[in-house]
Chain A
Amino acid sequence: MTEHLPALQVVIPLMAAPLCALLRPGRIAWMLAMTACTLCLLIAALLLERVLAEGVISYAMGNWPAPWGIEYRIDTVNAYMLLLVTMIGAVVMAFARPTLEQRAHLSKRKQPWFYTTYLLCLTGLLGMIITGDAFNVFVFLEISSLSSYVLISIGRDRRALTAAYQYLIMGTIGATFILIGIGFLYVMTGTLNMLDLAARLPAVADTRTVRAAFAFLTIGISLKLALFPLHLWLPNAYAYAPSAVTAFLAATATKVAIYVMLRFFFTIFGAQFSFETMGLDAILLPLALAGIFSASVVAIFQTNVKRMLAYSSVAQIGYMILGISLVSVTGLTATISHLFNHALMKGTLFMALGCVSYQIGAVRLDRLAGIGRTMPWTMGAFVIGGLSLIGVPLTAGFVSKWLLILGALERGWWPVALLVLLTSLLAVIYIWRVVEVAYFRPAPEDRKIGEAPLVLLIPTWTLALANLYFGLDTSLNAGVARLAAQSLLGVTQ
């Protein structure tokens, strides 16, 4: 049984998805979806444990041996990512049900479909992570993308529809670019298996086709991960999607895209080709810095808190790309660590906002007046997430900030280190705008709202406490992240 865990990781949510569509009422469907998510989390934890103990797991899908068949290949990097995605998937799934049922957001008939789509999205994300086959990445990418377009369009605001449409156009262009890139690679090597590609590419590396493939893949993936200036789809999509969807996508979708980027640049093309021959770091570094800076500044001026956090996500993606552009073990560790930490903090923040909008139906900054007193637990979680975002010690965010600055200083990049620190002060400003409104402005007299229900608070606080826990125990988000970085760079301990 245990040797089939890699397949089950993807198959369980894939099978549960259509079943959910058949089940009525929504609550039963939710129970199935929740079970599937929990099982996924369990499997991911088992896989990580096995990878750490025994090394890389290779699984031949359908018993077709690689490189002909599709290989599922799990090393430290993707075992870590699997755990991250399934963890967020499970927590947000627990959070999702009450927000859907509230004020007839989705009719009873439609609720099971939400869980179906959600599980499909999860399937796609997990598939992208686990697979060792380049084309398979594209297929799973489209599964997750298509379902995330649907999830975003569920938003209550009609602007959710245009946001989903915009994302669909941009996302499809990105995916098609990736498809072209993979096609070119296939033309030159005749293989799609990642390891096989990595072995055969150096022989043909100095051709225009391979370079074109590299360019197409870079742009395509950058679109999916919302690298500045290809991030335009993100703020609207996050701002108008339902809270649970935003929490889920913000914490996972862009992270998985970054994982794909790491895979292609480091495993398939190899760090030497990507960074020395093609000079990718010279492009990524300025884009990352520009993204961090501009998105942080824009975030300060937002009136919609969800949108503000969406821009903050663009900035945070910049930090991760910055780590990649350092091309060192420490830099890469910072990226991989921040993938995890950012998922925790943004998950917390968006879920706390979800609690707010559940109670008061809006997330405009001025409507948040006084909720620090009326919803102390919700805002408590928000503050923890915010502190983590700023990178205050004892939160997860501090770990990644520490690593990133260490990485920059190792390379002797003074101004970069300084900029990273200065921009985290911008985060102080936009987080504190919310805190001040919530705690210092009096609540309107006529509003009678209380704390969010426990079913929402429990998942929110689970992630909030995870922020604190992983700020103390860094064996996963720094220790394993370092192992992952070493394996990507091919450095042996």
Chain B
Amino acid sequence: MQILGLYNYWIFIVLMMCGFYVVISRGNLVKKLVGLNIFQTSVFILYISMGKIIGGTAPILTETATVYSNPVPHVLILTAIVVGIATTALGLALVVRINEAYGTIEEDEIHAQSEDEAL
């Protein structure tokens, strides 16, 4: 029961592993970034769910509510989301430049071209 009750953490783990796997296994540079995004998003979920308190409301002072969710992790993760977006944007920009320079965004083809250069 406890295991199921922590389903949000299970989602975090599954997403994290999925994202990580995509980053490692894909040779396509854009797909790698997609994987990286999933990986980062999973952490967002971790932070968001750790701030949630069952029965708590949004942290706004009202007379009816006595239990509030913890706002700090949510605020923290806003920062992390911004960072994630910046990373994705930069990553995609690099992919565009790589495509211009190599004419491909497949890792093994780029690798082959680089090998030629090294010789």
Interface residues of chain A, those whose CB is within 8 Å of chain B, are 135, 138-139, 142, 146, 149-150, 153, 158-159, 161-162, 164-165, 168-169, 172-173, 175-176, 179-180, 183, 186-187, 192
Contact = CB atoms under 8 A, between A and B. Distances in A.
Nearest to B89: A146
Top 8 closest pairs, chain A to chain B, by CB:
A158-B101, A142-B83, A165-B94, A161-B98, A187-B50, A161-B97, A172-B87, A168-B91
B69 interface: no
Nearest to B80: A179
Given A139-B83, A169-B23, A186-B50, A179 B43 contact: yes
Contact of A168 (B46, B87, B114): B87
A156 to B, nearest CB: 11
A169 B110 contact: no
B76 A135 contact: yes
Contact of A162 (B36, B43, B86, B114): B114
9 contacts: A146-B86, A150-B90, A153-B94, A161-B101, A165-B95, A169-B23, A173-B39, A176-B39, A186-B73
Given A142-B83, A172-B87, A153 B46 contact: no
Given A135-B76, A146-B90, A183-B50, A165 B36 contact: no
Contacts of A169: 23, 32, 36, 91
Nearest to A191: B72
Given A158-B101, A173-B39, 4 more contacts: A153-B97, A172-B36, A173-B36, A186-B72
B72 to A, nearest CB: 8
Contacts of A161: 94, 97-98, 101
Specify the main secondary structure of chain A where it touches its partner. helix
A118 to B, nearest CB: 16
A493 B80 CA distance: 41
Where chain B touches its partner, the secondary structure class is helix
A159 B102 CA distance: 9
Contacts of B110: 162
Nearest to A139: B79
A422 B87 CA distance: 42
A164 B23 CA distance: 16
B16 to A, nearest CB: 8
Contacts of A149: 90, 94
B21 to A, nearest CB: 12
A389 to B, nearest CB: 25
Contact of A183 (B39, B40, B47, B83): B47
A183 B29 contact: no
A486 B88 CA distance: 41
A381 B73 CA distance: 50
A417 B29 CA distance: 44
Given A135-B76, A165-B29, A173-B23, A180 B43 contact: yes
Interface in B17-36: 20, 23, 29, 32, 36
A164 B32 CA distance: 14
Interface in B64-119: 72-73, 76, 79-80, 83, 86-87, 90-91, 94-95, 97-98, 101-102, 110, 114, 117
Nearest to A145: B87
